């Protein structure tokens, strides 16, 4: 039987967050616990912080499936890239390292894929037929490609080359902050990005996640696209929800 509660942990460049998730409703059953990501982002340090976080989150809830999401390509439990994290993650048997450090089986997945899965289960992509492309606008740009609710993992569309740039360096929310862009000037970059995605994928729906999607009224109406573009429902909790739901679906 598939578990109806699980723990999701979302590892990011600045923070590691986790909570217990109700997998029927997609609600958080505990407060979201957040610890700062250790400086340098080295694997062993991150495992240690995750262990401390898990011991807080799992207090009194018994044995639950645990899912962990991370900002890298994840293939067969190995992290295969490192865009905004320590290069020590490249080629690392990350799932096994976490299982050893935490002392339990986990499910390990890319952070944007976890967010896309969460929106398909509990959010803006639920019941949506056809091709849905979720992008998270944060430090980098994450992507999740769904067709009829089925995830195609590791699409990494934040790294599309446009005008000679790895485009997350131009259009992520961090680029808006770094270059002190107005909403209009940031939207011009997003226009180029989403037009390119539209050309390549002819999606039925774009979903925009990440913390900045809370302010969607400031930039989504400025975009001129053929495809409907809407904010994610779960924003910063989507990684936690998706990692938990995937852990229950694929027990270690």
Binding residues vs ligand BGC (CB under 6 A)? 71-73, 81, 83-84, 110-112, 136, 138, 140, 142, 156, 158, 168
Least Å from the CB of residue 154 to ligand BGC:
8
Phi then psi for residue 36, to 5 deg, are -65, 140
Contacts of 252 (CB under 8 A, 6+ apart): 65, 99, 104, 105, 106, 107
Closer CB to ligand BGC, residue 110 or residue 237? 110
Least Å from the CB of residue 179 to ligand BGC:
17
Closer CB to ligand BGC, residue 26 or residue 242? 242
From CA 20, how far away is CA 251, in angstroms rounded? 16
Classify residue 1 by burial, with Cβ atoms within 10 Å: 0-12, 13-18, 19+. exposed
Structure tokens given for 36: 């700062």
Least Å from the CB of residue 241 to ligand BGC:
16
What's 214's DSSP letter? G
Closer CB to ligand BGC, residue 65 or residue 138? 138
Closer CB to ligand BGC, residue 211 or residue 251? 211
Closer CB to ligand BGC, residue 74 or residue 220? 74
* Distances in whole angstroms, Cα of residue 23 to Cα of each of 7, 15, 177, 204, 246: 10, 23, 35, 26, 10
Structure tokens given for 151: 């995830």
Least Å from the CB of residue 245 to ligand BGC:
17
What's 220's DSSP letter? G
Least Å from the CB of residue 70 to ligand BGC:
8
Query: Scanning the structure block, which residue is given the tokens 């770094």?
Result: 178
- The CB-nearest residue to ligand BGC is 140
């Amino acid at each position: 039987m598939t578990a109806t509660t699980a723990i999701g942990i979302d590892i990011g460049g600045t923070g590691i967050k986790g909570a217990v998730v109700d997998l029927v409703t997609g609600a958080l059953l505990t407060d979201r616990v957040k610890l700062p990501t250790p400086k340098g982002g080295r694997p062993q340090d991150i495992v240690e912080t995750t262990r401390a976080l898990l011991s807080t989150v799992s207090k009194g809830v018994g044995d639950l499936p645990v899912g962990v999401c991370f900002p890298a390509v994840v293939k067969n439990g190995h992290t295969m890239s490192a865009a905004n994290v320590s290069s020590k993650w490249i080629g690392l048997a990350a799932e096994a390292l976490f299982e050893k450090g935490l002392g339990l089986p986990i499910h390990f997945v890319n952070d944007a894929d976890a967010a896309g899965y969460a929106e398909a289960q509990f959010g803006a992509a639920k019941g949506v037929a056809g091709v849905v492309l979720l992008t998270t606008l944060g430090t980098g740009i994450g992507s999740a490609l769904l067709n009829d609710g089925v995830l195609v993992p590791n699409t990494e569309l934040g790294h599309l080359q446009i005008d000679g740039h790895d485009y997350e360096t131009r259009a992520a929310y961090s680029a808006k902050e770094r270059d002190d862009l107005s909403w209009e000037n940031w939207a011009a970059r997003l226009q180029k990005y989403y037009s390119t995605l539209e050309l390549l994928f002819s999606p039925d729906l774009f979903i925009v996640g990440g913390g900045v999607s809370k302010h969607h009224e400031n930039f989504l109406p400025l975009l001129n696209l053929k495809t409907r573009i809407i904010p994610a429902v779960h924003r910063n909790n989507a990684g936690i929800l998706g990692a938990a739901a995937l852990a229950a679906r694929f027990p270690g």
